[in-house]
């Protein structure tokens, strides 16, 4: 789903693109209104349920000179200092209401300026005709470290589709991949374009398939593929 909030050029506006798990928000604000701007506060709500201002990792030094590792801080008090921001914690097929406020003043005494609100719904993974899944990549490295206490990822863990670390990183992609192979009738050809297929377990699943052999295209695949 995509939308642009109403407003003439120069007014506080947002261009929003929602996938299944990520909501990308690009902001536009007149240059004269950027004087004294300290950033933007973000609130996310489920319809009919109260929401709260979202939290981030960055904090004003005057408010917290020695921030603790993995601590998170309200964007209403420590606004996001970027015109491009993404929410990576959305759920698929879910309606949300966002409120975004331009914040002015000084740390500890911020004032809310122009504010916009909009409703948007994330996409479903699978509409019954085709499905699109995204695993968690390098942008989620800090979240992975917080979730698993900075534990190391090993080949043994990566090759175990039931390991909680693998499940967290996969976010449905591995399950859909293995499920598609399992649901394909024996003897039916499979076609796949793959990049960086490093998991031996996933390659075994594919090559264990009965003839006719699947037609494969590889890019940057480790040897042997």
Residue 128 banded pLDDT, cuts 50, 70, 90:
confident
Q: What is the pLDDT of residues 108-120, one digit of tens each?
A: 999 999 999 999 9
Q: What's the mean pLDDT in 150-159? A: 86
Residue 132 lies in a domain: no
The pLDDT of 177-182, averaged and rounded, is: 83
Report if residue 127 sits inside a domain.
no
In a domain, 71, yes or no: yes
> 69 and 169 share a domain?
no
In a domain, 128, yes or no: no
**Does 101 lie in the same domain as 187?**
no
Q: Which of 121, 156, 174 is the last residue of a domain?
A: 121
Q: What is the pLDDT of residues 188-199, one digit of tens each?
A: 777 766 666 665
**pLDDT at residue 224, as a whole number:** 46
Counting beta carbons within 10 angstroms of the beta carbon of residue 224, is it exposed (0 to 12), middle (13 to 18) or buried (19 or more)?
exposed
Q: Are residues 64 and 152 in the same domain?
A: no
Residues 8, 113 within the same domain: yes
Higher confidence at residue 61 or residue 213?
61
**pLDDT band (50, 70, 90) for residue 217:** very low
- 111 located within any domain: yes
Asked if the structure places residue 86 within a domain, the reply is yes
Q: How many domains does the chain have?
A: 2
One domain for residues 13 and 99: yes
* Averaged pLDDT, 148-161: 86
Q: Per-residue confidence at 178, pLDDT binned at 50, 70, 90?
A: confident
Identify the CA nearest to 168 among candidates 149, 181, 194.
149
* Pair 79, 16 in one domain: yes
DSSP string, 65-76: SSPPTT--EETT
| Same domain for 143 and 63 | no
Average pLDDT over residues 57-71: 89
101 lies in some domain? yes
Q: pTM value?
A: 0.78
Query: Do 162 and 61 fall within a single domain?
Result: no
What is the spatial distance between Cα 183 and Cα 175, in angstroms, rounded to a whole number?
12
Q: Is the pLDDT of residue 204 over 80?
A: no
d(CA 16, CA 6): 12
Which of helix, strand or coil describes residue 18?
strand
Whether 9 and 110 map to the same domain: the answer is yes
CA nearest to 38, candidates 51, 29, 47, 46: 29
Tell me whether residue 129 is in a domain: no
Q: Are residues 94 and 185 in the same domain?
A: no
- Of all residues in the chain, the percent with pLDDT exceeding 90 is 45
Same domain, 109 and 191: no
Domain harbouring 80, CATH code: 2.60.40.10
Compute the C-alpha angle 195/198/202, nearest 5°: 95
Q: Are residues 79 and 176 in the same domain?
A: no
Chain segment 37-53, per-residue pLDDT in tens: 999 999 999 877 788 99
Domain with 86, as residue range(s), is 2-121
């Amino acid at each position: 789903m995509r939308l642009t909030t109403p407003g003439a050029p120069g007014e506080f506006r947002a261009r929003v693109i929602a996938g299944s798990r990520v909501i990308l928000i690009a902001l536009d604000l007149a240059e004269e209104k950027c004087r004294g701007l300290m950033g933007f506060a973000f609130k996310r709500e489920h319809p009919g349920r109260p929401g709260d201002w979202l939290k981030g990792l960055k904090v004003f030094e005057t408010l917290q000179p020695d921030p603790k590792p993995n601590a998170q801080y309200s964007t209403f008090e420590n606004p996001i200092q970027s015109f491009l921001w993404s929410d990576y914690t959305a759920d698929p097929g879910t309606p949300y209401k966002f409120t975004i406020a331009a914040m002015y003043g000084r740390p500890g005494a911020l004032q809310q300026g122009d504010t916009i609100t909009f409703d948007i719904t994330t996409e479903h993974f699978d509409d019954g005709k085709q499905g699109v899944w995204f695993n968690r990549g390098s942008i989620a490295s800090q979240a992975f470290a917080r979730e698993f206490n900075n534990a190391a990822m090993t080949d043994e863990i990566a090759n175990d589709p039931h390991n909680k670390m693998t499940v967290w990183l996969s976010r449905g992609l591995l399950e859909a991949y293995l499920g598609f192979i399992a649901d394909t009738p024996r003897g039916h050809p499979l076609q796949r374009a793959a990049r960086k297929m490093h998991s031996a377990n996933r390659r075994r699943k594919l090559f264990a398939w009965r003839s006719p052999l699947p037609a494969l295209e590889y890019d940057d695949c480790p040897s042997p593929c």
